[in-house]
Amino acid sequence: MDKRISELIMKKLFFIFIFFLTSSAFGQATFLKAVKLYYRVNPFDRKFSVMLDNILKDTSFVKTEMKKRTDSNFFFLSGYYKRFNPFDFSAKQTQVRLAESEIVVNESTKQNDTIIFYQVLGIAGPGEENKLKVQKELSRFHKRFNYDFSNSYYKETVSDDKVVTSAVYYYSIFGRTMPVMSVAWGRFPGEDNYVFTITLRLKVIENFAEPPKMPGEE
């Protein structure tokens, strides 16, 4: 895959930061509660091709961009729902993105893998009031679902004048080093709108999605 094209695809993803975390004992199925709440189409309870078809044929879904996978392009889909708001705040718009991308899974050997980022974004709007809404959504998510994961990691972005401009939680499950999910708040790139974003990382194997594995993981 052409490196320049891969970088262009990555620019379409928001608030995605790859961290490799250490997991502890956990029963992984419980994290599906968050998936069922925030995702109109669950990627884990059907074939991936069926999931994609369900999204595209949803009468509430409006497709804004779609690129099929080719020798020179990764798969990419974006759009929004006319009638779907899984957030505790009233979103101006609920967007969805599926983006295939190449990531490094072993720094020493430069081994790469291709995974899918599946995002749901709640656009709150501009201004301090909407900033507070997305901050509260992140806090509520963590309090509600933190114990459904084996591990979590928190990171903030701070401006030069010491103001927090975005924040993200990464969540891991037992048996997986790579975070399966992340949730974040921040400003939509290039806009004044504040947004809450939830991201799933998926590996599609034999037409079924599962949490990605690092080399050596069962």
Cα-Cα-Cα-Cα torsion 86, 89, 92, 94, nearest 10 degrees, comes to -20
C-alpha span between 69 and 102 (Å, rounded): 13
Mean pLDDT score, 100-104: 83
List, for residues 106-126, the tens digit of each pLDDT value: 666 767 888 999 999 999 999
C-alpha span between 173 and 148 (Å, rounded): 8
Kindly report the backbone phi and psi dihedral angles of residue 212, in degrees, each rounded to the nearest multiple of 5, phi listed first. -65, 150
Position 23 pLDDT exceeds 50: no
Helices (DSSP H) in the chain: which residue ranges?
3-10, 32-38, 48-57, 128-145
Write out the two tokens for 2: 């052409």
List, for residues 28-53, the tens digit of each pLDDT value: 457 789 999 999 999 999 999 999 99
Predicted confidence at residue 139, as pLDDT, reads: 97
Residues ≥6 apart with Cβ < 8 Å to 70: none
Residues of the chain with pLDDT > 70, as a percent, come to: 83
Predicted confidence at residue 106, as pLDDT, reads: 65
Domain boundaries, the chain: 3-210
Q: For all residues of the chain together, what is the average pLDDT?
A: 86
Residue 158's pLDDT band (boundaries 50, 70, 90)?
very high
List, for residues 186-206, the tens digit of each pLDDT value: 998 888 999 999 999 999 999
